[in-house]
Structure 1
Amino acid sequence: MNLPLVTCRYERQRVASTRWTTLRLLGHADFPATPYSAPVARQWVRHLLAGKVAEAALDDVMLLLSEVVTNAVVHSDSSHSPSGSVTVCLAAGDGRLHIEVIDDGSAGSIPFVRASDPDSDGGRGLLLVDLIATDWGAHHDQSSTVVWFHLPSGTSGQPF
């Protein structure tokens, strides 16, 4: 009996993207697609990066990660299923950090920077990513959406 080869979302994205050729994976993890996942994902990433990056770089990672995970939970199909999840991947290489957030996608929208209403409480997540990250992007395939961003590692302490 031949069973189909099943890979996690990170592995599918790694194989499909040239971004991973110069990066060293530090970790990847799945989180439930709930509002409580943003702080849990931040804690996980903070643990992985503790003592390895400058504090200013860590602050930027925490802010942008919160925005992108929250967007994945709010705007993707991940939150429409009890088993829906958001995958966070963290890598480093060439003096930069690479963070990827993978969700179940959405038939109704793709991630893009929106013009925000000054009186609105939301709508600025990808604008912050665009302003702070050195590079970022998003792509959608038949089963998921990936939003990724790069920040300088500002290495202090242990090098990657």
Structure 2
Amino acid sequence: MLTSTPPSGRPVAPAADPAGTASAIASRARGFDHWAAEPTAATVPLIRSRVRSVLDGWEVSAEIAAVLLLAVSELVGNVVLHAADAGRLRVGISLRGGWLQLEVTDGACALPRLPHPRGEVDPDAENGRGLLLVHLMATEAGGQLSVQADEFGKAVRVRVPTA
């Protein structure tokens, strides 16, 4: 189940607004939105849809929205693949001071292998390029990818300018 966390901090189950229209309107007024979900494969498109709704409500350009939508798909997908056993997935998006920030957190303390843009990539590898793509797209848009971990888990953030 996907829940939204309003400013009060208490998760609220989604109301009878499957498209998330009310959520997008409310999030535009407050500059952030946050969801908690079980880390399953079915969660990836649900959260991507919610993020798309919020970005549409904030009237974010198609180019910047594409960066964040790829990022949310990759980052939530990574949690599903590598940290689902930790049992916690939270996604937040904020708009402040001309910057958009996407944050995906989980309960696993192990850090992802961060990409080095000039590093060697095995041309025959079937995976392992997601964070590199997110990093390159965020950098090209004037932003950054960062990771922070502590004893409670980790947060992967993508920050890009709105203009």
Give TM-score, length-normalised by structure 1: 0.71
Tell me how far apart the structure 1 counterparts of residues 161 and 149 of structure 2 sit (CA, whole Å): 25
Tell me how far apart the structure 1 counterparts of residues 94 and 71 of structure 2 sit (CA, whole Å): 15
| Pair 1:46-2:46 in alignment | no
Partner of 2:63: 56
| Pair 1:143-2:152 in alignment | yes
Tell me how far apart the structure 1 counterparts of residues 125 and 96 of structure 2 sit (CA, whole Å): 37
* CA spacing shift, 1:72–1:116, aligned 2, 3 Å: farther
Give TM-score, length-normalised by structure 2: 0.70
* One-letter amino acid matched to 1:147: V
Tell me how far apart the structure 2 counterparts of residues 116 and 88 of structure 1 sit (CA, whole Å): 28
Match among 93, 99, 103 for residue 100 of structure 1: 103
* One-letter amino acid matched to 2:33: G
Partner of 2:36: 30
Tell me how far apart the structure 1 counterparts of residues 85 and 145 of structure 2 sit (CA, whole Å): 26
Q: How does 1:1-160 map to 2 (within 5 A)?
A: 25-51=31-57, 52-76=59-83, 79-80=84-85, 84-106=87-109, 109-114=110-115, 116-133=121-138, 134-154=143-163
Task: Give the CA deviation at 1:112.
Answer: 2.6
Tell me how far apart the structure 1 counterparts of residues 82 and 31 of structure 2 sit (CA, whole Å): 27
The count of residues paired between Structure 1 and Structure 2 equals 127
Ranges of 4+ aligned residues in structure 1 off by more than 2 Å: 112-117
**Percent identity between the aligned chains?**
31
Q: RMSD between aligned alpha carbons? A: 1.9
* One-letter amino acid matched to 1:142: E
Tell me how far apart the structure 2 counterparts of residues 38 and 120 of structure 1 sit (CA, whole Å): 23
Tell me how far apart the structure 1 counterparts of residues 100 and 148 of structure 2 sit (CA, whole Å): 19
Q: Counterpart of 2:127 in 1: which secondary structure? A: coil
